């Protein structure tokens, strides 16, 4: 595996590990809204983390260039981090707004998440 991929996946693994250490998602019983809140936090943290490291790479730090393999590889890692941050940001936004949109359109309700009922008439 090249240094660029190693850096990319190591950064995602470190941020995910820090999130798992701070979030009680593994110790609580399954509930939709608790899982949704944890996933909203996770996607937001990944998005902010990727964008933050991407901004630091935009400063062209000379100490990182030899590890990654040069300035062109640093730019490539910067691009990957930006795309990943944007993707996780969009997923974060959809996770935060999607269930509220579904509830407001009468497609589902908080009560139907607990006790399933018949589908609403469209």
Give 1 or 35, the one with higher predicted confidence.
35
Q: What is the pTM of this model?
A: 0.75
Position 109 scores a pLDDT of: 57
Q: How confident is the model at residue 110 (pLDDT cuts 50, 70, 90)?
A: low
Q: What is the mean pLDDT of the chain?
A: 83
Predicted confidence band of residue 84 (pLDDT cuts 50, 70, 90) = very high
Give the DSSP H or E segment for 8.
helix 3-22
Contact 61, 13 (CB under 8 A): no
Inform me whether the pLDDT recorded for 118 exceeds 60.
Answer: no
Taking the domains of the chain in order of start, what are their residue ranges?
A: 1-8+33-102
pLDDT at 92 over 90: yes
How far is 17 from 1, CA to CA, in rounded Å? 21
pLDDT at 31: 79
DSSP string, 78-106: HHHHHHHHHHHHHHHHHHHHHHHHHHHTT
């Amino acid at each position: 595996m090249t240094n660029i991929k190693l850096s990319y996946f190591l950064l995602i693994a470190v941020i995910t590990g820090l999130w798992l250490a701070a979030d009680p998602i593994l110790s609580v019983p399954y509930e939709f809204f608790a899982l949704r809140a944890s996933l909203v936090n996770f996607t937001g943290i990944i998005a902010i983390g990727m964008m933050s490291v991407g901004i630091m790479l935009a400063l062209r730090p000379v100490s990182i260039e030899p590890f990654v393999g040069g300035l062109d590889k640093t730019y490539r890692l910067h691009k990957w981090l930006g795309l990943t941050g944007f993707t996780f940001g969009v997923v974060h936004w959809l996770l935060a707004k999607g269930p509220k949109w579904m509830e407001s359109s009468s497609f589902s309700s908080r009560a139907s998440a607990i006790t399933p009922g018949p589908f609403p008439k469209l």
